[in-house]
């Protein structure tokens, strides 16, 4: 089979793509200065992938024999974008190969390093998937997968944080995780602080939340450190209608539920009323904290009110005397 430099366009996608708008929530609220400055680094990483794979033999594999990566870096799928990819491949074929490795645990099978959507499209179209097969270690696998997707996909903060958490859970060291995500140590610490404090079921229920950046997730993580509010969060995400909302709206609803739970309960004002035997005057009284009010009504309300006012000194003295006794 002839060799060809098909990876010269590995950073492009099949067919024209709709331009993605910048995500203000992540860029303005969640991105650190180091993240912004790493854009050129990401391009370099993508170029390194190109150089590593350039000239490799491209083969056609039955997608049924290709299994997903052992670690996922996405939460859900953009079905609209995926259908556009399917139609592009249907009309023009698969321009860019995927990278797979021989499956470490299953003979004659393969495992995706990157290119999950292209493999899924090939399965749907019932056609072979173009692939480069390389034997890589687990560490090289996650670095290649993370860097390729970081450079080419609009992954949200929580998707990246969840990927980092998963890599840590299966034993990868911080240096490997930083390389995979192209982040510095400070940002990785923040990512892991979110996933260690926000319950997994809450994160999964919210989903990718593309427009929710780092700072808002950090605020949420700090809030649910309180055990009572953590229980509120866990109840909120299984509440009626929660799953029917778009991902970002789920996040906003949870935040609102937590905000409502933090509001102090209004103390019931002690109230009472009194009426003279002849109904010439009636009184309503309310007390709250250090205040107490009496409202007089009926035909003698004014005159009785004046009487109380004129005798406040004597009444207070009687009150003090009675209190002492």
pLDDT tens for residues 158-187? 999 999 999 999 899 999 999 988 899 999
Task: Provide the domain count of the chain.
Answer: 2
Does the pLDDT of residue 63 top 50, yes or no?
A: yes
Same domain, 75 and 182: yes
| pLDDT on residue 13 | 41
Tell me, yes or no, whether 141 lies in a domain: yes
| pLDDT on residue 57 | 86
Strands across the sheet containing 129-133: 58-61, 129-133, 98-102, 110-114, 66-67
- The neighbour count for residue 283, using CB atoms within 10 Å, is 18
| pLDDT on residue 109 | 95
Same domain, 163 and 287: no
Tell me, yes or no, whether 264 lies in a domain: no
Tell me the pLDDT of the chain averaged across its residues: 81
Same domain, 166 and 17: yes
Torsion, CA 82, CA 167, CA 161, CA 102, rounded to 10: -10
Among candidate residues 173, 195, 217, the one where a domain is terminated: 195
Among candidate residues 138, 161, 195, the one where a domain is terminated: 195
- The neighbour count for residue 115, using CB atoms within 10 Å, is 26
Same domain, 14 and 137: yes
Q: How far apart are CA 271 and CA 288, in angstroms?
A: 9
| pLDDT on residue 27 | 41
Q: Which residues pair with 287 in a beta bridge?
A: 292
Three-state secondary-structure class, residue 44:
helix
Q: Phi then psi for 81, rounded to 5 degrees?
A: -65, -35
Does the pLDDT of residue 26 top 50, yes or no?
A: no
Tell me, yes or no, whether 256 lies in a domain: no
Parent domain of 316: 271-324
User: Sorting pLDDT into bands at 50, 70 and 90, what band is 223?
Assistant: very high
Same domain, 19 and 130: yes
Tell me, yes or no, whether 217 lies in a domain: no
Tell me, yes or no, whether 266 lies in a domain: no
Q: Is 125 exposed, middle or buried (0-12, 13-18, 19+ CB in 10 A)?
A: middle
Among candidate residues 171, 195, 219, the one where a domain is terminated: 195
Helix segments in 38-112, DSSP class H = 39-53, 79-92
User: Sorting pLDDT into bands at 50, 70 and 90, what band is 1?
Assistant: very low
**What sign results for the dihedral spanned by CA atoms 60, 65, 70, 74?**
positive
Percent of the chain scoring above 70 in pLDDT: 78
| pLDDT on residue 17 | 39
Same domain, 156 and 301: no
pLDDT, tens digit, 9 for 90 and up, residues 106-160:
999 999 998 888 999 999 999 999 999 999 898 888 888 887 776 666 788 999 9
Tell me, yes or no, whether 29 lies in a domain: yes
User: Sorting pLDDT into bands at 50, 70 and 90, what band is 43?
Assistant: very low
| pLDDT on residue 292 | 84
Task: Say whether pTM exceeds 0.75.
Answer: no
Tell me, yes or no, whether 236 lies in a domain: no
pLDDT, tens digit, 9 for 90 and up, residues 233-282:
999 999 999 999 999 999 999 999 999 998 776 665 667 888 888 888 88
Rg (C-alpha) for the chain, rounded Å, is 32
């Amino acid at each position: 089979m002839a060799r060809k430099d098909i990876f010269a366009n590995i950073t492009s996608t099949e067919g024209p793509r709709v331009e993605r708008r910048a995500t203000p929530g992540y860029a303005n609220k969640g991105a650190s200065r180091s993240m912004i400055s790493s854009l050129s680094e990401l391009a370099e990483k993508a170029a390194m992938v190109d150089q590593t794979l350039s000239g490799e033999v491209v083969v056609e594999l039955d997608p049924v024999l290709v299994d997903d990566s052992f670690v996922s870096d996405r939460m859900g799928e953009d079905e609209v974008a995926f259908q556009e990819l399917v139609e592009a491949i249907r009309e023009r074929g698969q321009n860019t190969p995927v990278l797979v490795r021989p499956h470490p645990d299953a003979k004659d099978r393969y495992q995706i390093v990157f290119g999950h959507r292209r493999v899924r499209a090939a399965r749907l179209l019932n056609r072979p998937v173009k692939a480069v097969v390389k034997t890589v270690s687990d560490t090289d696998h996650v670095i290649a997968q993370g860097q390729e997707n970081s450079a080419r996909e609009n992954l949200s903060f929580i998707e990246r944080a969840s990927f980092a958490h998963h890599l840590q859970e299966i034993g990868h060291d911080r240096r490997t995780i930083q390389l995979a995500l192209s982040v510095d140590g400070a940002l990785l610490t923040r990512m892991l602080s979110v996933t260690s404090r926000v319950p997994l079921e809450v994160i999964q229920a919210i989903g990718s939340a593309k427009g929710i950046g780092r700072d808002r997730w950090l605020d949420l993580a700090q809030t649910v450190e309180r055990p009572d509010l953590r229980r509120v969060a866990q109840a909120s995400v299984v509440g009626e209608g929660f799953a029917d909302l778009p991902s970002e709206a789920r996040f906003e609803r949870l935040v609102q539920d937590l905000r409502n739970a933090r509001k102090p309960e209004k103390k019931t004002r002690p109230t009472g009323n009194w009426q003279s035997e002849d109904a010439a005057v009636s009184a309503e009284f309310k007390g709250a904290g250090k205040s107490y009010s009496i409202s007089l009504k009926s035909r003698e309300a004014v005159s009785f009110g004046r009487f109380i006012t004129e005798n406040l000194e004597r009444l207070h003295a009687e009150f003090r005397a009675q209190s002492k006794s």
